[in-house]
Amino acid sequence: MEVSILTLCYLFGSVTFIIGLKMLSNPATARNGNLLAAAGMAIAIVGTIFLYEEEGKKLGNYPWIFGGILVGGIIGTLSAKKVKMTAMPEMVSMFNGMGGACAALISTVEFDHIYQTYRAVETAWLSDFVQAGHYLTIIAGAIIGSVSFAGSMIAWGKLSGKIKDMSFRGQHIVNLLVLLLVLAAAVFTYQYNVGYAQLLFYVTVGLALIYGVLFVMPIGGADMPVVISLLNSFTGVAAACGGFLYNNKVMLTGGILVGAAGTLLTILMCKAMNRSLKNVLIGSFGGSTVAAGVKKDQGSFKEITLSDTAVVMSYASKVLIVPGYGLAVAQAQHACHELEKLLESKGVEVKYAIHPVAGRMPGHMNVLLAEADVNYDKLLEMEQANDEFPTTDIVLILGANDVVNPAAKTDPSSPIYGMPILDVELAKNVVVNKRSMKPGYAGIENDLFFQPKTSMLFGDAKKVLQDLIGEIKNL
């Protein structure tokens, strides 16, 4: 009877994961979907703790289990409550890295159990006692989890500004060599003396950690959304390996869902950034060695005053706002929403154009604007927004850079050439809010800033929006 109840717990957890993931595809239902999946996970965990039984024995060790849950729960809750929206990508990387570490530790514990069982038979090979499929699951979980952990920690450091980009000549070749060493060590461990198996296993894990560091280290911030998504899929696959090891249905289902969703999202992100998945895997994109394109005389840019911007926006029929990382840094989402409401009270149609990789993680701008209670129906995806730019009177760009650079379509020498962008230059007027003329993460000047219909409005996004609101109210 207990087994049946535990099976139902796992079934319920698996179903809630699937439904919750589906609900995450719509901003209006995403919060409830997250809560539903969390409830399913809680039931699966409680069921495992109290109902799981093997050879007539229950888990036990309740003080350690609940102590770990309590400590982790407190740290997670406090971290989530204190984190700023601008730091959300770092938190996602950190949490994802912890998932990878857990998966690697599960494989390590399972391997140690096998080693302790057969270590006395030093003249035999590990393959004499462990089936190839079982060993493959263990070593895959250890390698993929270690890569995910190390890579996520580097991503966290780079996003938080604690670690700088680092690359050198032949970086991708070194990466591939280290990856080959990881795979060779994994095979050698299985086909070698049991007495040395544990040492070789730890060498394999160590090399996997080194590969995780080398894999992410050269990648620039502009490409970090792809990296986060890819590492997330790695963690899912590693968790699925743990589910195979312990025949745990809910862990297996959750891992497969995370792995599949992360992989699909990675492919979509690559398409949105004009990157190939092969380049992602060898870690050769987005670093400081990217070519800067052909240097050309851009001419001069023109500035616009707050009062002129207020007049143009107040008497416009349609305004599209393009949010970028600068908006997040300034924490200006609430001021942006206030501007939207003020313009709508004057009869202006206001919508938001969202590029798939705006910000530092997939969906960053959507989450940021949702925090300010912006209506989900006003958030236009890139394809929808591009259809509306020709009929737009003014586009207000807040901290976005590379995702609106026309060089992606017109300059074959540009490192972002071929990347799908928001066609803001098709609007009648373009106002760009930036702190300075400093290039974005791609390290190149933006051709848009020098076009005749573009005007620059310099300053912190939050202060500029607040002052702009004041000017419009005084008209």
Active centre residues (catalytic): 402
Give the burial string for 350-381 (b: 16+ CB within 10 Å, else e).
bbbbbbbbbbbbbbbbbbbbbebebeeebbbe
368, 328 contact by CB (below 8 A) = yes
156, 225 contact by CB (below 8 A) = no
The whole-angstrom separation of Cα 451 and Cα 429 is 10
Measured in Å, how far apart are the chain's first and last C-alpha atoms?
74
Secondary structure of the chain as H, E, C letters: CHHHHHHHHHHHHHHHHHHHHHHCCCHHHHHHHHHHHHHHHHHHHHHHHHHCEECCEECCCHHHHHHHHHHHHHHHHHHHHHCCHHHHHHHHHHHHHHHHHHHHHHHHHHHHHHHHHHCCCCCCEHHHCCCHHHHHHHHHHHHHHHHHHHHHHHHHHHHCCCCCCCCCCCHHHHHHHHHHHHHHHHHHHHCCEHHHHHHHHHHHHHHHHHHHHHHHCCCCHHHHHHHHHHHHHHHHHHHHHHHHHHCCHHHHHHHHHHHHHHHHHHHHHHHHCCCCHHHHHCCCCCCCCCCCCCCCCCCCCCECCHHHHHHHHHCCCEEEEEECHHHHHHCCHHHHHHHHHHHHHCCCEEEEEECCCCCCCCCHHHHHHHHCCCCHHHEEEHHHHHHHHHHCCEEEEECCCHHHCCHHHHCCCCCCCCCCCCCHHHCCEEEEEECCCCCCCCCCCCHHHHCCCEEEEECCHHHHHHHHHHHHHHC
The whole-angstrom separation of Cα 35 and Cα 29 is 10
